[in-house]
Amino acid sequence: MSDKQNGDTQTTPAGPRPEPIRFFGTTWLNHDGNYAPRRATVSVGSLAAVAVSCLVLRLAYEGLQLAAVGGFVIVVVVVMFAICTALAFGHTWGSFTKRPDPARQSSLRGLLTIGFVGSLTAYFLRSLKEAPGESLHREEYETARTQYERRTAKRTGNPAKRRRA
């Protein structure tokens, strides 16, 4: 993918390249390439997804009532969705500041799917502050840049000719 497709209008210096973020490409690095409108669009889109998701859950709840499955089943389903939503929110919010463990991520896939409203809510709230995951990517990129600059720094003199103290 070229720089223009990622939304990056400037060339990046030699060394490590910034990792693209979904919907933002590499515009998060310098906040260029329509970064602000993208953030606004992501915020509105995720909020709309939360609203539609809540509507879907409401329809499912009404379906359970129409089926007359009983109060116990309805309570169990509502509690299950509430717990899964809270856990999905916490997991998604935490994944914006540190990389999740892939093994744990795959084991939580079902829970995160059931708690999709929590994940969408976390995405919406984070998009109000920054591109979701921007701080994690920025920290990793700056660490990689620092290590690259340290490795490529010119040495002074020949280390073999150093005098021992």
The encoded tokens of residue 40 equal: 């606004």
Mean pLDDT of 59-87: 90
Q: What is the pLDDT of residue 3?
A: 47
Confidence bin at 52 (pLDDT 50/70/90): very high
Residues 6+ apart with CB under 8 A from 98: 136
Percentage of residues of the chain with pLDDT beyond 70: 87
How far apart are the C-alpha atoms of 52 and 91, rounded to whole Å? Answer: 21
How far apart are the C-alpha atoms of 46 and 119, rounded to whole Å? Answer: 10
- Is the pLDDT reported for residue 146 higher than 80? yes
- Is the pLDDT reported for residue 6 higher than 60? no
Confidence bin at 50 (pLDDT 50/70/90): very high
